[in-house]
């Protein structure tokens, strides 16, 4: 086979292949970072990355200077080619990123087939590399000759196209997530540096770092660098300046050599504003990431590190001295004295920031609370002591990790009500000292305050009950029957708004229950099947007997009167013989699936029940009447108190309509 048949040649050992190629990189962003760095070193101004999820395949196209046949064999296919020994800068004056000449092997971490198409403006070349063939050549100790293929790049269209196929797993990265990863890995992407990178046609920008708009406080190492744009950050004018000098002892002795770092450490308002990519302090050199996250090495980490994002640029870590970066090009050697020195400065910065962040965060919490007009209006009407206490509460509320406005609204609402109750308590204490007619103004204010708070509390109760009733209304009959069986006897307000919580004496309940059991023993089988339960409860001023029939049971009005009369007499006998101090008024309520028969005489049925102090209500009527009575209360309460107005304004400030 002639040279023309095998124009491309790679020499590589199996050991080097395993350690520096296949398996070296663990994810797609790391692999693409190497290929983007190669495009930078080729003086490309545009790099386009496209995913074909059908094939699947990945295409990386740049408009760099391309490669001649000599360049391909002596540089690209030479593993370990040390470019910086030849040129410290690219022909266009860029600082070279590549160092070890192994980045081209990164593609084999995710693909078994790599096609390379390139044009240097004078010639075109294309070849295919396959993992199995490379491994076989490395195993036998021979050279590997990539397969020539038809070139897809025109001679006049200078640059390089790399196509990755036979992917080891389908790309699962969403394009926007991948843009965020690459945006964090490079500080030279963008118009300023003449280096545009796009994914599926959408360019990567600083916005893809996705934290600038959420930055609350920022500290700079030295003077603010122009690598970032914090103009849109809420407090992006900077919170402080950090020392940026890193002293490093030369390996051969002598006085420390001072190096400068630049960059920033910032904090966001809520940890949820940072994902796992951005909640990090990355270390960069020569325009690209060299260490993914320094934050875990901060030994005094507290909760505040969950709010931290940052970037440290230390170009001197990737100079011409011993390589500090691991083969994977994503981490540095952590025991290297140069990195230890940088880490010491960064950790000292994080430590100094911690207390300042806590103080500034408290100040910002109060400011954010007072940005709500209703909260500010309420706060300004309070006295100095109450204001100091309110400030502390504002800080705690604003510090909570609440992503829902409604939850924060409920906290502010409850807090305001609590303060109003405390104010009433103070006024009650002051009543002990009332002596003059003028002092009775205090009593008037107290009574008004009590009325407002009671009305507000009852409104909350009514609205809660309406939600329960509305939920009952949407239940199918079987589910409604089960719901009433479980809850009706403990929530008699469903039968009448004035019947709040039952207050039956336990011993009396046992006595009456025993009498009811005697009556139950005489029921027919049909009567037993038609009943769910019967109980008595005590409400203010009377006793109530409630019988709950099954939804599908049909009851005759006369039979119902006879049954209820038996239980009524049993209860009256207990009251007369053993509980003479209890109220004598007894009301009986039967909850039925349908009106009793005969259904053509509803008025007559109601009259005979009323004659023994009884009434019936159907399942559907119970829900409808309960909803109407509570809804009527809200509509009838037309007069809004000052407290109501305040709480309504608070709901409006949080964008929550329909709440007081």
Q: Kindly indicate the confidence band of residue 462, based on its pLDDT and cuts at 50, 70 and 90.
A: confident
CA distance 606 to 596: 9
Q: Total domain count for the chain?
A: 3
Do 110 and 182 fall within a single domain? yes
Say yes or no to pLDDT of 385 above 70. Answer: yes
| DSSP state at residue 35 | H
Q: Is residue 554 part of a domain?
A: yes
Residue 282 Cα distances to 184, 187, 216, angstroms? 8, 11, 19
And the tokens for 347?
């950790």
| Neighbour tally for 318: CB within 10 Å | 22
Say yes or no to pLDDT of 327 above 90. Answer: no
Residue 33 Cα distances to 98, 289, 495, 602, angstroms? 11, 9, 70, 83
Q: What is the pLDDT of residue 413?
A: 84
Residues 182-211, mean pLDDT to the nearest whole number: 89
Q: Is residue 352 part of a domain?
A: no
Do 47 and 164 fall within a single domain? yes
| DSSP state at residue 72 | I
Pick from 336, 361, 384: which residue ends a domain?
A: 336
Do 198 and 272 fall within a single domain? no
Q: What is the pLDDT of residue 634?
A: 64
Question: How far is C-alpha 165 from the geometric centre of its chain's CA atoms?
Answer: 36
Say yes or no to pLDDT of 175 above 70. Answer: yes
Q: Kindly indicate the confidence band of residue 398, based on its pLDDT and cuts at 50, 70 and 90.
A: confident
- 95-109, 303-317, 642-656: range with highest mean pLDDT: 303-317
Do 251 and 175 fall within a single domain? no
Do 229 and 192 fall within a single domain? no
Closest C-alpha to 235, from 348, 368, 354, 353? 368
Q: Is residue 479 part of a domain?
A: yes
Q: Kindly indicate the confidence band of residue 424, based on its pLDDT and cuts at 50, 70 and 90.
A: low
For the chain, give the percent of residues with pLDDT over 70: 82
Q: Is residue 451 part of a domain?
A: no
Residues 462-468, mean pLDDT to the nearest whole number: 81
Residues 425-432, mean pLDDT to the nearest whole number: 57
| Domain carrying residue 259 | 210-336
Residue 27 Cα distances to 104, 170, 263, angstroms? 15, 12, 27
Query: What's this model's pTM, rounded to 2 decimal places?
Result: 0.66
Question: How far is C-alpha 408 from the geometric centre of its chain's CA atoms?
Answer: 15
| DSSP state at residue 249 | -
Altogether, the residues listed in the chain come to a count of 660
Asked if 306 and 210 count as a contact pair (C-beta separation under 8 A), the reply is no
Do 565 and 504 fall within a single domain? yes
Q: Kindly indicate the confidence band of residue 660, based on its pLDDT and cuts at 50, 70 and 90.
A: low
Q: What is the pLDDT of residue 237?
A: 46
| Neighbour tally for 23: CB within 10 Å | 12
Pick from 173, 202, 231: which residue ends a domain?
A: 202
CA 558, 561, 566, 572 torsion: positive or negative? negative
Do 121 and 238 fall within a single domain? no
Closest C-alpha to 339, from 300, 285, 288? 285
Average pLDDT, whole number, for the chain? 82
Q: Kindly indicate the confidence band of residue 4, based on its pLDDT and cuts at 50, 70 and 90.
A: low
Q: Kindly indicate the confidence band of residue 236, based on its pLDDT and cuts at 50, 70 and 90.
A: very low
Q: Is residue 280 part of a domain?
A: yes
Pick from 142, 168, 202: which residue ends a domain?
A: 202
């Amino acid at each position: 086979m002639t040279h023309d048949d095998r124009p491309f040649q790679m020499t590589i050992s199996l050991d080097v292949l395993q350690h520096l190629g296949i398996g070296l990189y663990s994810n797609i962003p790391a692999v693409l970072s190497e290929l983007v760095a190669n495009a930078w070193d080729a003086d490309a101004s545009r790099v386009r990355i496209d995913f074909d999820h059908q094939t699947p395949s990945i295409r990386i196209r740049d408009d760099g200077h391309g490669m001649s046949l000599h360049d391909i064999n002596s540089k690209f296919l030479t593993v370990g080619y040390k470019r910086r020994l030849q040129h410290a800068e690219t022909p266009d004056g860029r600082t070279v990123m590549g160092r070890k000449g192994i980045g081209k092997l990164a593609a084999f971490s995710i693909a078994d087939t790599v096609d390379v198409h390139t044009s240097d403006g004078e010639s075109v070349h294309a070849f295919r590399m396959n993992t199995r063939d490379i491994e076989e050549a490395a195993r036998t100790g021979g050279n590997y000759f990539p397969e020539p293929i038809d070139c897809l790049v025109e001679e006049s269209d200078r640059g390089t196209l790399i196509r990755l196929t036979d992917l080891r797993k389908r790309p699962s990265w969403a394009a926007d997530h991948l843009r965020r990863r690459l945006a964090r890995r490079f500080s030279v992407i963008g118009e300023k540096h003449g280096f545009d990178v796009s994914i599926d046609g959408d360019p990567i920008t600083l916005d893809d770092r996705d934290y600038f708009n959420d930055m609350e406080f920022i500290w700079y190492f030295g003077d603010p660098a122009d690598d970032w744009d914090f103009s849109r950050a809420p407090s992006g004018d900077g919170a402080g300046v950090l020392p940026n000098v890193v002293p490093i002892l030369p390996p051969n002795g002598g006085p420390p050599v001072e190096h400068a770092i630049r960059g920033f450490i910032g904090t966001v308002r809520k940890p949820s504003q940072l994902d796992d990519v951005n909640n990090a302090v990355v270390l960069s050199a020569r325009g690209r990431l060299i260490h993914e996250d320094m934050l875990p090495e901060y030994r005094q980490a507290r909760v505040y590190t969950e709010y931290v994002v940052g970037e440290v640029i230390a170009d001197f870590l990737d100079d011409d001295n011993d390589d500090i970066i691991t083969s994977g090009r994503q981490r540095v050697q952590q025991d290297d004295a140069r990195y230890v020195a940088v880490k010491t400065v960064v950790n000292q910065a994080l430590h100094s920031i911690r207390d300042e962040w806590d103080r500034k965060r408290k100040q910002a919490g109060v400011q954010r609370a007072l940005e709500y007009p209703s909260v500010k209006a309420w706060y300004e009407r309070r006295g100095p002591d109450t204001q100091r206490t309110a400030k502390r509460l504002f800080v705690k509320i604003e510090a909570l990790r609440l992503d829902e406005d409604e939850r924060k609204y409920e906290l502010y609402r409850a807090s305001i009500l609590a303060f109003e109750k405390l104010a009433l308590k103070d006024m009650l204490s002051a009543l002990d000292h009332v002596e003059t007619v003028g002092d009775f103004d205090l009593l008037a204010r107290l009574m008004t305050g009590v009325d407002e708070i009671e009305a507000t509390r009852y409104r909350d109760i009514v609205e809660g009950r309406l939600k329960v009733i509305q939920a009952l209304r949407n239940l199918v009959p079987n589910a409604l029957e089960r719901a009433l069986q479980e809850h009706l006897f403990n929530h008699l307000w469903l039968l009448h708004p004035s019947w709040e919580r039952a207050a039956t004496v336990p011993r009396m309940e046992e006595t009456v229950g025993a009498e009811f059991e005697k009556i139950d023993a005489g029921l027919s089988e049909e009567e037993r099947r038609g009943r769910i339960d019967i109980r008595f409860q005590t409400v203010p001023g009377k006793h109530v007997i409630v019988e709950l029939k099954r939804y599908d049971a049909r009851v005759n009005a006369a039979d119902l009167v006879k049954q209820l009369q038996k239980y009524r007499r049993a209860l009256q006998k207990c009251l007369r013989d053993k509980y003479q101090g209890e109220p004598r008024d007894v009301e009986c309520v039967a909850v039925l699936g349908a009106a009793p028969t005969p259904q053509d005489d509803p008025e007559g049925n109601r009259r005979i029940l009323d004659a023994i102090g009884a009434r019936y209500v159907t399942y559907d009527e119970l829900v409808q009447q309960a909803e109407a009575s509570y809804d009527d209360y809200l509509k009838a309460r037309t007069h809004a108190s000052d407290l109501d107005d305040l709480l309504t304004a608070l709901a409006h400030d949080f964008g929550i309509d329909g709440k007081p």
